[in-house]
Amino acid sequence: MAGLGDLMKQAQRLKAEMERLQAEAASKTVEGSAGGGMVTVVANGKGEVLSVKIDPEVARGEDLEMLQDLVTAAANDALRRARDLLAQEVSRLTGGLSLPGLL
């Protein structure tokens, strides 16, 4: 049963490394934007939105619906980049091997 013991040790190492990568990714930030930079959203690697910046010219406009769309698009862009960041970190850990359920 040495093979099973080795497999368990490898799984524990992989789990510890995943936790380290998630913590490392959480400390990194990514930026998403929409409307040519009129709305910018900063998110961390945990997928949390940290800040939203809106160009004052857009805020002065009469088109509230457009502003809402820009904020949504910028937030989605930032969150996609956060997921991509974590996926890149995991890919380095697994050597590019896709392991279902890791993300």
> Residue 86 belongs to a domain with what CATH number?
3.30.1310.10
Q: What is the pLDDT of residues 53-87, one digit of tens each?
A: 999 988 887 888 999 999 999 999 999 999 998 88
Spatial CA neighbour of 34 closest among 55, 51, 48:
55
Go through the chain and tell me how many residues it has: 103
pLDDT of residue 46: 87
Name the band, by pLDDT with cuts 50, 70 and 90, for residue 96. low
Is residue 35 assigned to a domain?
Answer: yes
pLDDT of 101 > 80? The answer is no
Spatial CA neighbour of 47 closest among 84, 19, 11:
84
31: amino acid identity, one letter? E
Predicted TM-score (pTM) of this structure:
0.75
How many CB atoms sit inside 10 A of residue 28's CB? 14
Q: Work out the mean pLDDT of the chain and round it to a whole number.
A: 86
Is residue 80 assigned to a domain?
Answer: yes
Q: How far apart are the first and last CA of the chain?
A: 30
Q: Which structural domain range is residue 65 located in?
A: 2-94
Is residue 100 assigned to a domain?
Answer: no
pLDDT of residue 14: 83
Which SS3 state, helix, strand or coil, does residue 94 take?
helix
Is residue 85 assigned to a domain?
Answer: yes
Total tally of structural domains belonging to the chain = 1
Is residue 103 assigned to a domain?
Answer: no
